[in-house]
Amino acid sequence: MDMEFLEEIQRRRTFGIISHPDAGKTTLTEKLLLYGGAIQEAGAVKSNKIKKGATSDFMEIERQRGISVATSVLAFNYQNKKINILDTPGHKDFAEDTFRTLTAVDSVIVVIDVAKGVEEQTEKLVEVCRMRKIPMIVFINKLDREGKDAFDLLDEVETKLGLRVTPLSFPIGMGYNFKGIYNLWKKNIQIFESTDKQKIAKTIAYDSLESKGLKDSIGDEVMSELTESLELVGGVYPTFDQKEYLEGNLQPVFFGSALNNFGVQELLDCFIQIAPAPLPKSTDKRVIQPDESAFSGFVFKIHANMDPNHRDRLAFIKIVSGTFKRNTPYLHVRHKKKLKFSSPNAFFAEKKEVVEESFPGDIVGLHDTGNFKIGDTLTSGEEIHYKGVPSFSPEHFRFINNADPMKAKQLNKGIDQLMDEGLAQLFTLNLNGRKVIGTVGALQFEVIQYRLEHEYTAKCSFEKLNVHKACWISIEDEENDNYRDFLKVKQKFLAKDKQGQLVFLADSAFSLQMTQQKYPEITFHFTSEFD
């Protein structure tokens, strides 16, 4: 085995950032890039003074709304480690994108807003991480705002998210009285005094609680509070154990304020030491190790039209094993044909550069002319399929109608491509061939309308449709009389998804329940991936 190859794997850290909207996730991403020296000044997402716009939000609709809708990929080097961040949309209408992204990361940072505490959206996502045993670090953000007490927050993280936490940094004061951070990981103290939010904060560091001058700078009262808190932390919380963290049984917590650069470096320094390098991943046949020499990877996201002037799509591939080389033919397992890529991209927000070779843990963007869909596997020749990139049952349904008869072709192409991208799902009714779009959140309809018009010059209108849930259907014996009866009775509620799988559109929870009781031989699935 080539030593260089093994070193490259060990250098990689690929993680996702998840949180509720507005918890400050995009700002944190920006600041991590700032420390990585990748950008000179961070563009705050909300600040009116800076017209710069955050580096990772590049779709027009994101700029208008101040929310991130597409998962961006950002990479930078820090202390000889190559860090790949997947910034996920926090908005719940785009949760599906986030679930899929979680299939491509090795660890996660959960961001929580100090004032709001744990919110519902975060609970769902953390639950997915817990199920998959993904190592998590919690970052409690916005300490410069008035918020909940540090211990109350830690309790809330434990009870609502079901985590076992141990603080590795601790705030000194909060809100207006925020003085700095005690770093339990490195046992030192940073007192903050800089007010310039765009550059990295000036800090005074003290090596221990006994340091000269510390008491003078924070005052006696704060000092005794801090000593007390630290004793409590030592008594209540388990000591940090890396093995437990990697197994997903212990979650370290950091405090800070991303906007003011407090505590971000502490988080990053600890993260690169403890977070896992690229991990093995299971396929339908066997578990693939990152250090295998044969290349394999899977598509977890497709993003259309990164550049509005060119109709291109990028398929984002997570490399699981081996080295991905430019201009080398690889097997597209679903199509059973070989494809080669002349300009694979590595990312830096909206800047992309062509790379010669990439290693496990990296995310590569491949120009796609319609070959890929989400969940596809690419390999050096082995016929395997990576599992676990499902579609979820949508919650909102609307008929899509063409608003400009001259542009039917453009509309169909646009819908086709946006669906491959996983933005929403398309169902075609068996009865009359009408097209129904199903999404996880209502905001997607706006995004679809906007993008069809701006990227494909097609106009569409939506019409409400009363559907409660879409379920995928499977049955062992298709000749079964009951099944035939079902097809006949329910024909106006049946549709095909894009893959041609049969889908039942139930109009209410009650009718779904009744149908399940009436036809016990049929299995109704709520995700598209079933064996």
pLDDT digits (tens, 9 = 90+) for 40-53: 444 444 433 334 45
Do both 128 and 204 map to the same domain? Answer: yes
Question: Does some domain include residue 8?
Answer: no
Please identify every stretch of the chain with a pLDDT value under 70, giving residue numbers as ranges: 1, 36-71, 89-96, 174-175, 192-219, 304-312, 347-352, 388-391, 529-531
Contact yes or no for 354/345 (Cβ under 8 A): yes
Residues 376, 387: Cα–Cα separation, whole Å: 10
Given this model, what pLDDT does residue 210 score?
Answer: 63
pLDDT (0 to 100) of residue 44: 42
Q: Are residues 404 and 375 in the same domain?
A: no
pLDDT digits (tens, 9 = 90+) for 158-193: 988 889 999 988 888 766 777 778 888 777 777 766
Query: Is 183 among the domain residues?
Result: yes
pLDDT the model gives residue 353 = 78
What is the maximal distance between C-alpha atoms in the chain? 86
Domain identity same for 366 and 412: no
Number of domains in the chain: 3
> Does residue 240 sit in the same domain as residue 311?
no
- Residues 355, 359, 363, 366: what is their CA dihedral angle, to the nearest 10 degrees? 50
Q: Are the C-beta atoms of 192 and 201 separated by less than 8 Å?
A: yes
269, 136: one domain: yes
Confidence (pLDDT) at 197? 47
Q: Are residues 265 and 288 located together in one domain of the fold? A: no
Q: Are residues 342 and 407 in the same domain?
A: no
Q: Are residues 251 and 354 in the same domain?
A: no
Tell me if 2 is assigned to some domain.
no
Same domain, 368 and 407: no
473 backbone dihedrals φ, ψ, rounded to 5°:
-115, 135
Asked if 144 and 258 touch (Cβ cutoff 8 Å), the reply is: no
Residues 319, 422, single domain; the answer is: no
The answer to the question of residue 356 being in a domain is yes
Of 222, 245, 274, the domain-final residue: 274
User: Is residue 390 in a domain?
Assistant: no
Q: What CATH code is carried by the domain that includes residue 349?
A: 3.40.50.300
Q: Write down the pLDDT at residue 208.
A: 58
Q: Are residues 163 and 224 in the same domain?
A: yes
Q: Which of 231, 246, 274 is the last residue of a domain?
A: 274
Tokens 């120009």, located at residue: 367
Residue 464 lies inside a defined structural domain of this protein:
yes
424, 436 Cβ separation under 8 angstroms: no
In a domain, 530, yes or no: no
- Do residues 253 and 111 lie in contact, with contact meaning Cβ atoms separated by under 8 Å? no
Q: Which domain holds residue 348?
A: 282-379
439 & 337 share domain: no
Cβ burial of 418 (10 Å; 0-12, 13-18, 19+) is buried
| Long-range contacts at 152-160 (CB < 8 A, ≥ 24 apart) | 153/112, 153/114, 153/117, 154/237, 154/253, 156/117, 156/118, 157/112, 157/118, 157/251, 157/253, 160/117, 160/118, 160/123
Assess if residue 197 is contained within a domain: yes
Last residue of a domain, one of 221, 243, 274: 274
